[in-house]
Amino acid sequence: MLVVLAFLLVFPELTSDFSIILILFLFFVYLAMANSWNILAGYSGLVSLGGPAFVGIAGYALGAVTIVHVSPLIGIVIGGAAASGFAFLIAFPTLRLRGLYFSIGTLMVTEAMSLFFIAFKPPGASSDQWGGAGLVIRGAEGVSLTELYYLALVVGLLSIFVVRYVLRSKLGLGLKAIRDNEGAASSLGVNIFRSKLYSLMISAFVTGLAAGVFYIFQGLIEPVTGFGISWLMIMLMATIVGGIGTEEGPIIGAIIVVVLQQYLAAYAGLNLLIQGLILVVVISLAPRGLWGSISKVIYRAGGKATPQTKVQAQAEPAKT
């Protein structure tokens, strides 16, 4: 891992091919978003469809602060904080819902925010700043692709460390207990609402950071794509195809998403349809994703039970 990290740190100095740097840039951004969604769906049992809402809020917060001459680099953090604050606000109505109702509720939040920003235009704003025309990220042209590469690398690594820290904390233990059996977790003293709230806010913050880095590269955010379903497909594909509920899965999934985007670029009208079909096939044939299937083969080849099998065996009552 240290060798790979060292290579990624010096890679921009080893090549002049900006297309490869751009591919790695997208990989880091998608990895951060996949890890943030994995915290919710993989470890908390919250299948959120509201990820694009956090992307859009962070992007608009970034654009808004650059209007008053705040550095875009500082705007990335402000965007992440805005997404986390928005998650706090919507948590009180949405976290009261469960299962499919929670998923639909978060999807409706995304659609509502998209419609709001399509219509919203503050007094005195020009036509190229707000509303359906979107919002220009001022100062973005002064940030080079190499600088964006390193920013995305930092955000991608941060998402990995956040997942590892959460999983090894008391919060992570509580989240996995909630995912497996919410009633039992509550009876053992886990604060259900507070644990879900923390996971939602952490996920939104990491998503907001990744969105901010992306929109500095993009230079413009507008409501249709900023709150678009394509962001949700990226999160779903990277997490589910790679391996939901695993630390390695989003890394594999983010690689697959980037590769698919490069090959499907010529089929813009069918892009989402093809990704959806791939998602359905993977869920049907490998419910735990590619990494889940790979790890299962590795464990069997070594004559060991998978971690999931061990948990099931420990949960069975002793037989006399």
- pTM higher than 0.95: no
Q: What is the DSSP string of 19-30?
A: HHHHHHHHHHHH
Q: What tokens appear for 293 in the block? A: 């299937």
The neighbour count for residue 181, using CB atoms within 10 Å, is 12
The span from the first CA to the last CA of the chain, in angstroms, equals 47
CA geometry: angle at 278 spanning 291 and 244, to 5°?
Answer: 30
Number of neighbouring beta carbons within 10 Å of residue 40: 27
Phi/psi at 92 (5° precision): -65, -40
> For residue 136, what is the enclosing H or E element?
strand 135-136
Q: Do residues 135 and 64 lie in contact, with contact meaning Cβ atoms separated by under 8 Å?
A: yes
Report in angstroms the alpha-carbon separations of 3 from 21, 109, 225.
18, 42, 37
pLDDT of 185 strictly over 50: yes
> How does residue 307 score in pLDDT terms, banded at 50, 70 and 90?
low
With CA atoms as reference, report the closest residue to 17 among 189, 146, 174: 146
Across 158-184, average pLDDT:
92
Segment 186-243, tens digit of pLDDT: 998 999 999 999 999 999 999 999 999 999 999 999 898 899 988 999 999 999 999 9
For residues 37-52, give the mean pLDDT: 93
- Please give the torsion angle defined by the CA atoms of residues 227, 210, 264 and 295, in that order, rounded to the nearest 10 degrees: -120
Mean per-residue pLDDT for 66-93?
94
Residue 319 has pLDDT above 80, yes or no: no
Residue 121 is classified by DSSP as -
CA gyration radius, the chain = 20
Q: Quick one: pLDDT at residue 278?
A: 84
CB 76 within 8 A of CB 212: yes
**pLDDT for 102:** 93
Question: In DSSP terms, which residues pair with 128 in a beta bridge?
Answer: none
Beta-bridge mates of residue 274: none
Range with lowest mean pLDDT among 10-19, 30-39, 125-134, 248-257: 125-134
Q: What is the pLDDT of residues 16-40, one digit of tens each?
A: 778 899 999 999 999 999 999 999 9
Residue 264 confidence (pLDDT): 78
